[in-house]
Amino acid sequence: MILSASGIEKRFGAVVAASGIAVEIAAGARVSLIGSNGAGKTTFVNMITGYLKPDAGRIVFDGRDITALAPREITRLGVARSFQIPQLCTGLTVLDNMLVADACRRNRLSFREAAHRPTALQRADALLARFGLKQHRVRKVAELPGGVRKLLDIAMALTGEPRLLLLDEPTSGVSAEEKFPMMEIIMAALGAAKTTVLFVEHDMDIVERYAERVLAFYAGRIIADGSPAAALASDDVRRYVTGTLRQ
Amino acid sequence: MEQAVTIFIDGLTYASWLFIVALGLTLVFGVLKILNIAHGSFYAIGAYAAASFVGWGAAMKLAPGWSIVAMLLAAAAVAALLAPLTERGLLRFFYGRDEVLLVLVTYALFLIFEDLTKLVWGANPYYVSEPYALFGNVEVGRQVYVGYDFMLVGMALLVGGLVWWGLNRTRSGKIVLAVIHSEEVAASMGVKVSRVYALAFSVGIFLAALGGAFTAPMISVQPGVSVGVIIVSFAVVIIGGLGSIEGAAIGALIVGLARSLAVHVAPVAELFSIYIVMAVVLMFRPEGLFQRIQARKI
Amino acid sequence: MGFATRAPAAIGLLLTALLLGAGCLMPKWLTFLITMAASHGLVSLGIVLLMRGGVVSFGQGLVFAAGGYAAALAFAQLGITDALGLTLIGGAVATLLAAPFAPLLARYRGIFFAMLTLALSMVAYGALVKVSALGGSDGFNMGRATLFGQKLPDAQVGYVLYSVTVVMSALLAIAARRCFDSTRGLVTLAVRENELRVEYLGGSVREAMAINFMLAAFVGGAGGALTVMSLGHIDPNFSYWTTSGEFVFVAILAGWQSVLAVFVASLVLEMVRSFSSLYFPNTWQLALGLFLLFVIRFLPRGIGSLWFRDKP
């Protein structure tokens, strides 16, 4: 088990964002987190990545208790995340963004190593190629369309070969016909790597196609946990998430 | 004991004109989000204008009492002339840009005004001491104090009260408050934000000039007067909290009393006592004592 | 890419050689002007380094004064007279002074960073003015430095100090360029753009900012020492906010991309200052102010952006 959470509680005033969350994720798993807005998916992701601290409970990553750690420390342990609204350095070029990711994730910050040295450029270009972003290499992020920015955001997260990757709505903000190609690119870029992937997703077609396991959230609880077919067929999920249960 | 009274009164006097000036600074920041380095320049121009107006009054053989009117008129003239010119003519081209960038724009303005003042009034000092004797002397215990100083305290209270009343009890004032809290929401409710900006800026400049005009009789009005005033005003608004009236009052009191204490008891600390307080406030409570805005701190 | 980034050392050394050669032919007022431009430029270089991280320091006068007083005191009290040694002492003392404040300042941004740096420099000013042992508001004079054990005769002192300043500035400028192009330099730019992302990538924003502050202190202190040696005098005004303001002016004029631009901008300021006080004593600040407005409005990335094309 690469990630396990137990007894997670989180409230924001009267809003219950997490209640009794307990889950174990195996290494290499491809898990989708589904649920309507406010159900607690992003809160869960935020707690894993250290942006929020749970009120109670423990999160253990690869044998280490990461519950109280800062985002930076959790990242250094091998956890990476992408953002629903891409968090990029808009004034810098695509390449420079990748180089920043490279330098930070490898924890190799120095005044003597040139940012644009050949080894770093190779790594950055290789990853850009896997995401089909190489042609945008020298363009400023501010000039790029939304879909490209999302891919860059994810490419940056993948820099440094994280063992756990959390994708926050990777296909949101992307047009319908681009969603599948985007997921194809992401999955291809992940390739044969044993990266464990958790992705928050609203599009059930994407979920069915790319997830091996589904965790459904509602009001801070996990209401379903299983294969996509099983989870999406469950009454609770149909009632509270997909809205397909007829009363 | 007597020394305590002296320290208190000196501090209060200093705090009074400083409050008037700092009030203008904090108002401009609260509404326009501009920390105006040139605020001290308007103070200086107010002082120079007062010197001129009082001089003209004397030349016209007016009764000495008219010099108060002259000083008020001077402050009003400065505001009426320079506020629209500065705000509409320069600052508005930089609205929406980074707050530090706006500080730099006002720094450029300060540089420009330094020389413009010299070009208009020359480099020699002006002395406008006649009004200082207008209010006679006041005896407190065995010490004699100048009545003018107490007038200043009264004026500070009046000004503070008027601004407070204007903001909280009049319709225009509430509109200004709305813009302070959220300009976007106010604009979407139909408030002409540009008018509010112009109004707030004019009032702010008027207050700076007023402070300068009424301090003129107590100092020698010469190039460089603005430089010290700016920095002390900054200390006040940082200590009190940017955008807060109460903050400007308390901040001015703290600075005035700290300085007075230092001058009388520990002259070595006179200058840096103010900045130590400013630095300490920034380190431990950067929003100031009366929080209006969140400090940009990680 | 700016031409200087391809081979900063080569360009820097070439320029240094040119300046040293030309210095033999220049009139004394020009070598002095360039000396001041270079030593002041070092302080502005520190401000540019901080600007790359997204903050503007309005209080570099603090480190400038620290370096200056350290050099002057080392000369007077410790008998250290070597120009290079004094420069390093100036830089070191300023860095030590900045060190306890660096982690604190690393947490501030925007107006509050500017105000805190301003306050600290004014605290120093207020303190220095009242310390009569240091000459109070008049400051004190500093004797003539030596170089490699050699005393400097009247005819040559100007050129020698000019050379020391130009060489030290060039070395620090080359180092700065390396710094800007390094991984830490790139992360600094990233911090300016998106701190959150940098943290989520595993980089420490606070560490980056604190280190930058100390580096800026070092060059600022070195600049202070070099200034004192050529000026022969130090006073608390080194730490006054208007002095800091001039360094900021140069940094804004230069922009954050080119190291060379910082020194060009500093030279421009010194020239405007000299010529104006000679011919138009009441308008040089006016000229500066208008110039600054022009740059802010039309050249927001500074004059360095004129020749610094973006990296491929």
Domain borders along chain C are 9-242
Which residue of B104, B230, B239, B278 to mutate against C (max C Cβ within 10 Å)? Answer: B104
Contact A17, A40 (CB under 8 A): yes
Q: What amino acid occupies position B210?
A: L
Retrieve residue B165's tokens.
Answer: 């009343």
> Do A108 and C203 make contact, defined as CB atoms within 8 angstroms?
no
* Angle, CA of A163, A164 and A170, to the nearest 5°: 130
Residues A63-88: tens digit of each pLDDT: 899 998 988 899 999 999 999 899 99
Position B294 in a domain: no
Mean pLDDT of C32-49: 96
C-alpha B192/C-alpha B177 separation (Å) is: 13
Strands A15-25 and A3-12: antiparallel
pLDDT at C309 exceeding the cut of 80: no
Say yes or no: A5 contacts chain C, CB-CB below 8 A. Answer: no
Nearest to A156 by CA among A176, A141, A171: A141
Contact between A164 and A196 (Cβ < 8 Å): yes
Residue with tokens 């091998």: A78
Query: Is residue B134's pLDDT more than 50?
Result: yes
- Asked whether the predicted pLDDT for residue B296 surpasses 80, the reply is no
Q: What is the mean pLDDT of chain A?
A: 89
Task: State whether residue A81 sits within 8 Å of chain C by CB.
Answer: yes
CB contact under 8 A, B112 and C107: no
Distances (CA, A) of A189 to A102, A150, A151, A154: 16, 14, 10, 10
User: What is the rounded CA–CA span in Å between residue B242 and residue B248?
Assistant: 8
Tokens of A196: 């464990």
* Percent of chain C residues past pLDDT 90, beyond the cut: 62
Q: Which domain holds residue B106?
A: 2-284
Q: Is the pLDDT of residue A242 over 50?
A: yes
Secondary structure element (H or E) that encloses residue A46, with its range: helix A41-48
Q: Ramachandran region of residue B102, left (φ > 0), alpha (ψ -120 to 50) or beta?
A: alpha
Contact C247/B at CB under 8 A: no
Q: Say whether pLDDT at C181 is over 80.
A: yes
Q: Which residues of A touch C194 (CB under 8 A)?
A: 87-90
Mean pLDDT for chain B?
88
Average pLDDT, chain C: 90
**B292 within a domain of the structure (yes/no):** no
CATH assignment of the domain containing B142: 1.10.3470
Which of A18-32, A153-167, A189-203, B251-265 shows the lowest mean pLDDT across its residues? A189-203
What tokens appear for B178 in the block? Answer: 């709305």
Token couple for B140:
């407190």
Residue of chain A minimizing CA distance to C187: A100
Residue C94 pLDDT more than 90?
Answer: yes
pLDDT band at A232 (very low <50, low <70, confident <90, very high): confident
Instruction: Determine whether C21 is exposed, middle or buried from the number of CB atoms within 10 Å of its CB (0-12, 13-18, 19+).
Output: exposed
Yes or no: say if C81 and C228 are a contact pair by the CB < 8 Å rule.
no
The single residue listed with the structure tokens 């081209």 is B93
Q: How far apart are CA B157 and CA B152, in angstroms?
A: 9
Q: What φ, ψ does residue B145 adopt, rounded to 5°?
A: -120, 155
Interchain CB distance below 8 Å, C109 and B101: no
* Location of structure tokens 């409570």: B285
Q: Average pLDDT, stretch B144-171?
A: 90
Give C224-279 pLDDT, tens digit per residue: 999 999 999 999 999 999 999 999 999 999 988 889 999 999 999 999 888 887 88
Query: What are the boundaries of each domain within chain A?
Result: 1-67+194-247
Is a pLDDT exceeding 60 seen at residue C3?
no
Q: Per this entry, what is the length of chain C?
A: 312
pLDDT at C311 over 50: no
Residue C293 Rama label (left phi>0; alpha psi -120 to 50; beta): alpha
Instruction: Please name the residue of chain C whose CA is at the shortest distance from the CA of residue A46.
Output: C200
8 A C-beta contact, residue A170 and residue A183: yes
**What percent of chain B lies above the pLDDT cut of 70?**
97
Give the gap in angstroms from C-alpha B103 to the nearest C-alpha of chain C.
Answer: 8
The rounded distance, in Å, linking the Cα atoms of B272 and B263 is: 11
The closest of B136, B148, B134, B155 to B66, measured between CA atoms, is B134
Domain count, chain B: 1
- More confident: A245 or B199: B199
pLDDT of residue C273: 86
Task: Indicate the SS3 state at residue C249.
Answer: helix
Task: Indicate if the pLDDT at residue C182 is higher than 90.
Answer: yes
Q: What's A1-67+194-247's CATH class?
A: alpha beta
Nearest-CA neighbor of B164 among B52, B54, B26, B9?
Answer: B26
pTM: 0.90
Please tell me if residue C103 touches chain B, with a CB cutoff of 8 Å.
no
* pLDDT-derived band at C307, boundaries 50, 70, 90: low
Amino acid at A114: A
Q: How confident is the model at residue B298 (pLDDT cuts 50, 70, 90)?
A: very low
Among A76, A93, A140, the residue with its CB nearest the CB of C202 is A76
Q: Token pair of C292, please?
A: 């600054």
Place of tokens 């250094």: A76
Neighbours of A177 (CB within 10 A): 7
Segment 208-267 of chain C within 8 Å of chain A by CB: 208
Distance from CA of C66 to the nearest CA of B (A): 16
